[in-house]
Amino acid sequence: MKKTEQFGVHLLFDGYNCDTTKLADKEHLTKFLVELPKEMNMHTIAPEVVVEVGEMNEKDPGGISGFVMIAESHISFHTFPKRGFVTADVYTCQNEFDHDTFTEYLSKTFDTNDYDANVIARGVRYPNTNA
């Protein structure tokens, strides 16, 4: 039986009652994807992508989605300005990271104090040797 170790950590962030102007500001959101990896000593490996998404259905009144690939994995978000809501995630292959600092950064970026944040261990049976 192969020995295993955890592969990484996934932070899931849901922000409520956010600043609707920030949620709709493509420039602000692009800057977030450029700056967050630098702030957290992560390494961007592809240009960030930020796109406006129109209304999809009654549940989804449209907003902005963004993504950046980092060597450690990815950072993404989906904003819903008409609802004052954002969902974001940071997935890293680092086994530990300062999720409180990440959560504070996300809270400031979207200007909310009302959020849910969950940290999930990923790849908890990741083999520590090659196949």
Q: Does the active-site annotation cover 93?
A: yes
99 is catalytic: no
List of residues 6+ apart from 63 with CB closer than 8 A? 23, 24, 52, 53, 78, 79, 80, 81, 82
Per this entry, what is the length of the chain?
A: 131
Query: In the structure encoding, which two tokens stand for residue 130, read together?
Result: 């090659």
Give CA torsion, residues 108, 53, 122, 97, to 10 deg.
-20
- Alpha-carbon distance 79 to 81, whole Å? 6
Catalytic residue among 28, 74, 78, 99: 78
Which of 28, 65, 76, 93 is the catalytic position? 93
User: Pick from 120, 108, 127, 111: which is nearest to 73 by CA?
Assistant: 120
Please identify which of the residues 73, 74, 76, 107 carries the catalytic annotation.
Answer: 73
Residues 33 and 18: beta-carbon distance below 8 Å: no
18 among known catalytic residues: no
Residues annotated as part of the active site = 73, 78, 93
